[in-house]
């Protein structure tokens, strides 16, 4: 697949200014300049955020109302329940708010819908069940903003609702007592991109401020807030960066025995954003995908070592089952795509009988990454097809579904990721409609773009330089790991690994040799030979193996030198 390489234009004046005013090397100064972070105060806040960098929670819509209502519930000893989502963001949101409310004297219950039976968000049967149990106050976390009918039902049944959410707001707000969501059109809060757990954290901060409590009363939960924030792939800038940076520091000395256990189970030695994204999040998400999200919640809430061991084992098993299920669906989907030549379409829509709809989103992501085309996977059960889709930058998949409403029963999501339900009889019509929209949008003109932070000479690279890149962590959405360009490198050795899946190289520039690894790039071993001159783009990293540290390029793309 041809990819377009785009190198940032270096602003030499800005780089010199950054070097003069800050204790950083030229590479870090260049990357900061590329990000538009130039002033000394902004650089210090980016590299070394502190608890003083949190914004005032009372700038959020309806925060004052929410706080006053919760304190009224405390004073009157009312029954309170927290309703959250089944993913990591939802689980951590419930953990933080339930734990904090208990600290201030409110023993709140919780409700997590079953992903497979109930789906996302509030639902009427759940609201009726909660009301029948005599709850006075319902607080949503990481959901609720689109649940207009469900909130109305809660009100009819005598419950007051506080919605805390971070998702996009529709045309109508739910008729809740308070709607705390920074995506509201009347929002004045500086950071619009908090995760759901970030909003729950700000509610705890606001309550502490109102009660005159020490800031430790809410800051102690930053380890859990950090897990949800990084896992939900929100932009790691502004307040999200403060949360994740400080939270990772707290994680390394966490007192939460459940978090400790799942970190150990992940097998990562260094606890950073990568360990959270690829070690912790999949295990926590797996039980929700398989229909048992409350086990992840119990893990974080438990104070019993034996229970934590059992829950950790259970989460590992769910993750193993999820991986096996995902692998089987992926292989079946690829087989169908190749056999039916769906990869020649502008958009890929592939369906299968009784595919597990808890994991098809992950498979869709892999198919989109493989073919660089929007993909939608549909699992057909009886007369219903439930689907999950992922898109490519430049094609709004949610907008495409808006144009397919006549054949859909329900759908939701955003430009890059969607969920949908339709009748089996409409599947072929849906496929035709999506293909037509993709053609009209000229999707074939969208080319993958690799944004390159700087061109680097191999002779300039040393361990100290690579280690300095850690200053920019944690990496994630809107703060990607820096990508560098290396030109005219000679292939010293080349081979495929893992049955042809990955690519292993040693590259030479004069007398300097560096290792390079290209994951899922094993097919390139047939395209290049020892002695070829190539240009490569990739991340710089330290690879530790057998007690030795070596600089390595993690490849993102390769082309022959001109």
pLDDT at 546 over 80: no
How many domains are there within the chain? 3
State the pTM of this model. Answer: 0.90
9: how many CB neighbours lie within 10 A of its CB? 8
| Inside any domain, residue 427 | yes
The per-residue pLDDT for range 240-265, each reduced to its tens digit, is 999 999 999 999 999 999 999 999 99
pLDDT at 535 over 80: yes
pLDDT at 412 over 80: no
Q: What is the mean pLDDT of residues 265-281?
A: 91
- Taking a C-beta distance cutoff of 8 angstroms, is the pair 262, 283 a contact? yes
pLDDT at 324 over 90: yes
At residue 242, the pLDDT reads: 97
Q: Output the CA–CA distances (angstroms, integers) from residue 299 to 92, 256, 262, 485, in the order listed.
A: 11, 9, 9, 44
158: how many CB neighbours lie within 10 A of its CB? 10
| CATH code where residue 459 lies | 2.40.50.460
What 3-state DSSP class applies to 479? strand
CA separation for the pair 29, 529 (Å, rounded): 36
At residue 134, the pLDDT reads: 97
CA separation for the pair 429, 434 (Å, rounded): 9
Same domain membership, residue 147 and residue 228: yes
pLDDT at 89 over 90: yes
CA separation for the pair 173, 166 (Å, rounded): 13
Q: What is the mean pLDDT of residues 94-112?
A: 97
pLDDT at 511 over 80: yes
Pair of tokens at residue 13: 């004046």
Same domain membership, residue 236 and residue 138: yes
At residue 414, the pLDDT reads: 76
| Inside any domain, residue 192 | yes
Same domain membership, residue 234 and residue 103: yes
Per-residue HEC secondary structure of 434-473 comes to: HHHHHHHCCHHHCCCEEEECEECCHHHCCHHHHHHHHHHC
Same domain membership, residue 189 and residue 72: yes
CA separation for the pair 370, 367 (Å, rounded): 5
pLDDT at 116 over 90: no
At residue 415, the pLDDT reads: 81
**pLDDT > 90: percent of the chain:** 84
What 3-state DSSP class applies to 534? strand
Task: Tell me how far apart the terminal alpha carbons of the chain are, to the nearest angstrom.
Answer: 18
CA separation for the pair 135, 73 (Å, rounded): 11
Q: What are phi and psi of 194, to 5 degrees?
A: -60, 150
Give the domain range for residue 476: 4-8+450-560
CA separation for the pair 176, 551 (Å, rounded): 55
Beta-carbon contacts of residue 122 (< 8 Å; ≥ 6 apart): 83, 113, 140, 143, 144, 147, 150, 151, 154
| Inside any domain, residue 400 | yes
Q: What is the mean pLDDT of residues 143-162?
A: 95
Same domain membership, residue 481 and residue 438: no
């Amino acid at each position: 697949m041809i990819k377009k390489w785009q190198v940032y234009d270096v602003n030499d004046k800005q780089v010199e200014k950054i070097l003069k005013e800050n204790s950083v090397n030229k590479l870090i100064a260049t990357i900061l300049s590329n990000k538009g972070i130039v002033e000394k105060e902004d650089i210090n806040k980016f590299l070394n955020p502190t608890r003083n960098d949190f914004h005032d929670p009372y700038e959020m819509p309806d925060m004052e109302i929410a706080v006053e209502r919760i304190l009224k519930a405390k004073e009157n000893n009312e029954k309170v329940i927290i309703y959250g989502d089944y993913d990591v963001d939802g689980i951590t949101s419930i953990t933080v708010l339930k734990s904090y409310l208990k600290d201030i004297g409110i023993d709140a219950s919780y409700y997590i819908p079953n992903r497979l039976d109930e789906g996302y968000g509030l639902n009427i049967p759940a609201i009726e069940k909660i009301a029948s149990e005599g709850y006075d106050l319902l607080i949503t976390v990481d959901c609720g903003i689109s649940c207009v009918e469900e909130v109305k039902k809660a009100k009819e049944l005598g419950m007051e609702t506080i919605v805390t959410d971070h998702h996009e707001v529709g045309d109508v707000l739910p008729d809740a007592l308070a709607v705390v969501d920074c995506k509201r059109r009347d929002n004045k809060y500086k950071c619009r991109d908090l995760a759901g757990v970030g909003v729950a954290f700000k509610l705890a901060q606001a309550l502490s401020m109102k009660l005159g409590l020490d800031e430790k009363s809410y800051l102690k939960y930053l380890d859990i807030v950090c897990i949800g924030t990084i896992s939900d792939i929100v932009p790691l800038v502004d307040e999200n960066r403060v949360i994740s940076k400080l939270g990772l520091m707290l994680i390394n000395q966490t007192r939460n025995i459940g978090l400790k256990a799942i970190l150990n189970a992940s097998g990562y030695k260094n606890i950073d954003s990568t360990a959270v994204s690829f070690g912790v999040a999949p295990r926590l998400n797996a039980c929700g995908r398989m229909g048992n999200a409350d086990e992840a919640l119990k893990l974080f809430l438990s104070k019993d070592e034996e229970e934590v061991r059992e829950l950790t084992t259970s989460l590992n098993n769910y993750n193993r089952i999820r991986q096996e299920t995902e692998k089987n669906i992926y292989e079946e989907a690829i087989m169908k795509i190749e056999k039916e030549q769906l990869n020649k379409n502008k958009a890929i829509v592939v369906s299968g009988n009784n595919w597990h709809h808890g994991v098809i989103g992950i498979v869709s992501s892999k198919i989109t990454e493989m073919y660089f085309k929007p993909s939608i996977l549909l699992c057909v059960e009886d007369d219903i097809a439930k689907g999950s889709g992922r898109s490519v930058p430049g094609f709004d998949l949610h907008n495409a579904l808006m144009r397919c409403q006549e054949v859909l029963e329900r759908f939701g999501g955003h430009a890059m990721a969607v969920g949908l339900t339709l009748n089996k009889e409409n599947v072929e019509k849906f496929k035709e409609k999506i293909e037509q929209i993709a053609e009209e949008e000229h999707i074939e003109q969208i080319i993958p773009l690799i944004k390159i932070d700087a061109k680097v000479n191999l002779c300039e690279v040393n361990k100290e330089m690579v280690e300095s890149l850690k200053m920019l962590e944690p990496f994630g959405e809107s703060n990607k790991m820096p990508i560098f360009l290396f030109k005219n490198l000679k292939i010293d050795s080349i081979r495929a690994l893992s049955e042809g899946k990955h690519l292993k190289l040693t590259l030479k520039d004069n007398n300097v040799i560096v290792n390079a690894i290209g994951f899922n790039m094993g097919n390139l071993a047939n395209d290049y030979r020892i002695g070829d001159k190539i240009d490569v783009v990739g991340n710089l990293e330290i690879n530790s193996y057998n007690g030795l540290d070596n600089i390595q390029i993690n490849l993102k793309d390769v082309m022959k030198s001109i």
